[in-house]
Amino acid sequence: MADLGLSLVLSFDGSVLYGPANATPATAAIGYVISAHEPIVEGSRSLSTFVSSTHVEYRALVAGARAVTNVSDHRTVASLHVRGDAVAPVEAVDPDHPTEPNDGILRRRVETVQTMVDPIPQVSYRTVPRARNRRAHELARRPHRQLE
């Protein structure tokens, strides 16, 4: 039987912790999980520089898309379902939405993600509640705990 390819789900999240009185961002981190019925790749790392929580979300999406590309280098991927709890990056990368970030860096990140997932025949995008994005959220929070 021919390999029809994997159907993957990419869940991503960014996390920013603020200092005293929530006045200044102190640390940022990203997390993502790629699953095909079960998790097959997970990633988590702190960010040494960041501009805003929105930028952190986009960076998590780029890292997750890069990991999908690594999987697709070794296995046929028939479909990808991108899931995140932040509306802006999900809508920005979805070709069915006319949303485009005003920020040049974010536009380049959108182009990067779209280029990486372009070879996959079917790609869908959906914003999900945090409860449905729990593992990616946990992975994004992990580097903060390591700094404590």
5: left (phi over 0), alpha (psi -120 to 50) or beta: left
Would you say the C-alpha torsion 28, 129, 81, 33 has a positive or negative sign?
A: positive
Q: How many CA atoms lie within 13 A of 74 on its CB side?
A: 5
| pLDDT value at residue 142 | 94
- E-strand stretches of the chain: 6-18, 25-36, 38-47, 77-84, 122-127
- pLDDT class for 146, splitting at 50, 70, 90? low
The burial class, CB within 10 Å (0-12 / 13-18 / 19+), for 48 is exposed
Residue 34 in contact with residue 117, Cβ under 8 Å? Answer: no
> Would the pLDDT of 74 be above 80?
yes
State how far the Cα of 139 lies from the Cα of 111, in Å rounded to an integer.
Answer: 25
Domains and CATH numbers, the chain: 6-147 (3.30.420.10)
- pLDDT class for 126, splitting at 50, 70, 90? very high
pTM to 2 decimal places = 0.92
